[in-house]
Amino acid sequence: MKKFLNNKLFRYLSVFLFLNSSILPVKSSSALAAWSINTNGVLELRTKTNTNLKAYFQKANQISGDRFWVDFPGELKNPRTIKGNGPIKEIRLGKPDKGKTRLVIEFEEETYLKPLTWRLVGLDQNNWRIKLFDRKYSFKKISEGQVFKRIKNIKENQKSIHKNKSNYQYLKLPDVKQNKFSVVIDPGHGGPDPGAIGIGGIRETDVVLEVSKIVKNLLSEKGVKVRLTRKNEVDLDLPPRVSFANNTDADIFVSIHANASRGKRRDINGLETFYYRGWRGRLLAKKIQKQILKVSPGSPDRGVKQGRFYVIKNTRMPAVLVEIGFLTGRLDARRLEKTTHRKRLAYSIAKGILEYLNKVG
Positions that interact with Zn ion (CB under 5 A):
188, 195, 257
Nearest Cα residue to 15 out of 62, 68, 65: 68
Q: How far is the CB of 235 from Zn ion (least distance, A)?
A: 14
Q: How far is the CB of 94 from Zn ion (least distance, A)?
A: 48
CA distance 315 to 114: 52
To 10 degrees, what angle do helices 204-221 and 339-360 make?
50
Burial 88-118 (b: 16+ CB within 10 A, else e): bbbbbbbbbeeebbbbbbbbeeebebebeeb
Residue 66 or residue 272: which is nearer to Zn ion going by CB? 272
Question: Which DSSP letter does residue 14 get?
Answer: -
Q: How far is the CB of 301 from Zn ion (least distance, A)?
A: 19
Residue nearest to Zn ion (CB): 257
CA distance 82 to 93: 8
Q: How far is the CB of 201 from Zn ion (least distance, A)?
A: 16
Q: How far is the CB of 272 from Zn ion (least distance, A)?
A: 12
70's enclosing H/E stretch is strand 67-73
> Which residues, at least 6 apart from 168, have a Cβ–Cβ distance to it below 8 Å?
none
Q: How far is the CB of 256 from Zn ion (least distance, A)?
A: 9
Q: How far is the CB of 224 from Zn ion (least distance, A)?
A: 24
**Residues linked to residue 301 through DSSP beta bridges, in sequence order:** 271
Contacts from 39-43 at CB under 8 Å and sequence distance 24+? Answer: 39/135, 39/138, 39/139, 39/140, 39/141, 40/131, 40/135, 41/87, 41/131, 41/132, 41/133, 41/134, 41/135, 41/137, 41/139, 42/129, 42/130, 42/131, 42/132, 43/105, 43/129, 43/130, 43/131, 43/132
> Which residues, at least 6 apart from 116, have a Cβ–Cβ distance to it below 8 Å?
17
Cβ contact 4:90 at 8 Å: no
Q: How far is the CB of 130 from Zn ion (least distance, A)?
A: 32
The identity of residue 211, as a single letter, is V
Residue 176 or residue 288: which is nearer to Zn ion going by CB? 288
Q: How far is the CB of 24 from Zn ion (least distance, A)?
A: 24
Residue 122 or residue 188: which is nearer to Zn ion going by CB? 188
Residue 34 or residue 214: which is nearer to Zn ion going by CB? 214
